[in-house]
Amino acid sequence: RPVAAGDAGYEFAVLPRIDLQVIMWAGDDEFPPKANILFNETCVMQLDTATLYMIGIDLSRRLLHQAGKLHPGAS
C-alpha cells in the first residue's frame, strides 16, 4: 500500500507481524536517485538480524524483477 514518504513510498506486509517500507527519491542535479528499506520497530522481536537481512534482499530482488531490471535467477 502507498505511504506518504519520499517521492514514492510503499509498505509491504511480508509476514504477519513484519512490515517493510520502501521509500524512494527520484534525485536531481545535486543528489542521485536513492531508495531505503525500513523495517517496523518490532521485527527484531520476531526474527534474527540475518533473517531480516535476507527478507530485505528478497524484497529488493522481487521489486527489481517486477521493474524489468533483474532477470530470474540473477544474483
Residue 75: the pLDDT is 58
Mean pLDDT of the chain: 90
Residue 18 burial class via C-beta count within 10 angstroms: exposed 0-12, middle 13-18, buried 19 and up = middle
Q: Is 22:63 a contact under the CB 8 Å cutoff?
A: yes
Residue 8: the pLDDT is 95
pLDDT tens digit string along 42-57?
898 999 999 999 999 9
Q: Is 26:9 a contact under the CB 8 Å cutoff?
A: no
Distance of CA 54 to the CA centre of its chain: 11
